[in-house]
Amino acid sequence: QTGAVITSEMIRSYLETLSRRGRSRNTVQMYGTKLRAFYHYLPSDKRVGPDTLSAWRGALLEAGYSPGTVNTHLSAANGLLGCLGRRDLQLAGQLEPEPSIQPELTRAEYLRLLQAARTLEKERTYLLVKVFALLGIRLGELSRLTADQVRAGRLSVLDKGRRQYLSIPTCLRRELLDYVRWQGLRTGPVFVTRNGKAMSRTQVTSAIQSLCRDAQVEKAKCNPWCLRKLYLATRSEIERNVRILAEQAYEQILDAEQLGTEDSGPRRRGKHGC
Residue 270 in this model has a pLDDT that exceeds 60? no
Report the percentage of the chain scoring pLDDT > 70.
Answer: 91
Residue 274 in this model has a pLDDT that exceeds 50? no
d(CA 24, CA 249): 43
The CATH number for 166's domain is: 1.10.443.10
Enumerate residues 6+ apart whose C-beta is below 8 A from 167: 153, 154
In a domain, 149, yes or no: yes
Domain range enclosing 194: 107-231
Is residue 213 domain-shared with residue 136, that is, in the same domain? yes
pLDDT band per the 50, 70, 90 thresholds, residue 158: low
Of 198, 210, 200, 195, give the one whose Cα is nearest residue 59: 200
Question: How many residues are present in the chain?
Answer: 274
Is residue 140 domain-shared with residue 182, that is, in the same domain? yes
Average pLDDT over residues 241-259: 84
Average pLDDT over residues 57-83: 88
In a domain, 220, yes or no: yes
The pTM of the full predicted model, rounded to 2 decimals, is 0.60
Could you report the per-residue pLDDT of 92-127, keeping only the tens digit for each? 887 776 655 668 899 999 999 999 999 999 999 999
pLDDT number for residue 273: 43
Is residue 157 domain-shared with residue 219, that is, in the same domain? yes
In a domain, 261, yes or no: no
In a domain, 118, yes or no: yes
SS3 state at 125: helix
In a domain, 45, yes or no: yes
Dihedral sign for Cα atoms in the order 170, 174, 180, 183: negative
Is residue 13 domain-shared with residue 80, that is, in the same domain? yes
| Helices and strands (H, E) in the chain, number of each type | 11, 4
Is residue 192 domain-shared with residue 139, that is, in the same domain? yes
Of 129, 131, 134, 145, give the one whose Cα is nearest residue 209: 129
The overall average pLDDT reported for the chain is 88
Average pLDDT over residues 204-231: 94
Is residue 123 domain-shared with residue 156, that is, in the same domain? yes
In a domain, 274, yes or no: no
d(CA 165, CA 88): 43
Is residue 113 domain-shared with residue 214, that is, in the same domain? yes
How many structural domains comprise the chain? 2
Average pLDDT over residues 185-202: 90
The CATH number for 38's domain is: 1.10.150.130
DSSP letters for 223-263: SHHHHHHHHHHHHHHHHHHHHHHHHHHHHHHHHHHHHHHHH
pLDDT number for residue 206: 94
Is residue 227 domain-shared with residue 112, that is, in the same domain? yes
Compute the half-sphere exposure of residue 59: CA atoms within 13 Å on the CB side of its CA: 13
Is residue 81 domain-shared with residue 113, that is, in the same domain? no
d(CA 240, CA 218): 29
Of 236, 206, 224, 241, give the one whose Cα is nearest residue 133: 224
pLDDT number for residue 169: 94
DSSP letters for 11-80: HHHHHHHHHHTT--HHHHHHHHHHHHHHHHHS-TT-EE-TTHHHHHHHHHHHTT--HHHHHHHHHHHHHH
Is residue 53 domain-shared with residue 129, that is, in the same domain? no
Average pLDDT over residues 231-248: 86
Is residue 43 domain-shared with residue 84, that is, in the same domain? yes
Residue 63 in this model has a pLDDT that exceeds 90? no
Could you report the per-residue pLDDT of 10-56, keeping only the tens digit for each? 999 999 999 998 888 888 999 999 999 999 999 999 999 999 999 99
In a domain, 100, yes or no: no
d(CA 2, CA 130): 49
In a domain, 99, yes or no: no
Is residue 205 domain-shared with residue 114, that is, in the same domain? yes
Strand intervals (E) in 145-237: 154-159, 162-167
Q: What does the H/E/C string look like for 254-274?
A: HHHHHHHHHHCCCCCCCCCCC
SS3 state at 185: coil
